[in-house]
Chain A
Amino acid sequence: MDFLVENGAALLFYLFAAIAVIGALGVVTLRNPMYGAISLLMTFLAVAALFLLRHAEFVGIVQIFVYGGGIMVLFLFVIMLVNLHRLRDVRLFGGQAPAVAVLATLLFVVFGWVFVQARFGPPNPDPRVLDTVGMERLGNSQAVSWALFTQNLLPFEIASIFLLVAMIGAVVLGRRQ
């Protein structure tokens, strides 16, 4: 029991990391895209939990809203729109799959080697910066909003124009000719 309490954060990390990896493997290996989408939802939620464990509460909630809510509904709609019976006789992997698997494994070994070797030292002594506005500790959402609307106002406005363009583009693409 003491072990569980003492290492709670670490055990939660391993739990959610395992869920995320299993979900990701499901996305790339399951034949039915519907199961793949549910598996992807599992990964999204696990990654949101991993964000929470790193003091990114606002990003975690946005992840659940936007990915778990918006993007997932979009995927499920499209999967239901296209006729799934036609997918059954489609080959799962292309001919290049074994080569891609080898290359991806190699890439992971290289990444992993570098990342395991890297030494960052302990995290910055004061992680409270992540929820402080000025001198006051108000919470992560307020701190992120403050950073978003002061230092990053121009990128924020560009993002809104980008969303408008994407919306118009999607409507035009989906229209019947």
Chain B
Amino acid sequence: MLEITTNHYLVLSALLFTIGLFGIASRKNMITVLMSIELVLNSVNLNLVAFSYQLSDLTGQVFAIFTITVAAGEAAVGLGILIAVFRLRETTALDRSAELKG
């Protein structure tokens, strides 16, 4: 009988995490970068829930809910910044907003 262990969840979450990381660091479109950040946060939640089951401890699930809260706030503020930048420059390309680059 096939059995799904915590290891399966960890590997899947590592895969989602690295895909999200690739999106954050390589894409030029600000909207896609924000979506990749959501991917990374989601993969962390997957880990928290997997360990909550492994250890029979609810703390992991409670922490996952806090992570979702922070992700929601982050999306709202990030998209607000995106709208402000778009008004200023008429583009969502990240390399067009590089004044702070050293």
Output the nearest chain B residue to A160 by Cβ-Cβ distance.
B69
Place the interface of chain A in its size category. Answer: 35 or more
How many contacts A-B (CB < 8 Å)? 255
Point out the residue from B14, B23, B82 that lies within 8 Å of A78, measured CB to CB.
B82
What residues of A have a CB within 8 angstroms of the CB of B94 in the complex? 94
Place the interface of chain B in its size category. Answer: 35 or more
A25 x B19 contact (CB < 8 A): yes
A107 x B77 contact (CB < 8 A): no
Chief secondary structure at chain B's binding surface: helix
What residues of B have a CB within 8 angstroms of the CB of A107 in the complex? 18, 21
Chain A contact residues, CB within 8 Å of chain B? 6-7, 9-11, 13, 17, 20-21, 24-25, 27-28, 33, 36-37, 40, 43-44, 47, 50-51, 53-56, 58-59, 62-63, 66-67, 70-71, 74-75, 78-79, 81-83, 86-87, 90-94, 96-97, 100-101, 104-105, 107-108, 111-112, 115-116, 118, 120, 123-124, 126-127, 129-130, 140, 143-144, 147-148, 151-152, 155, 159, 162-163, 165-167, 169-174, 176
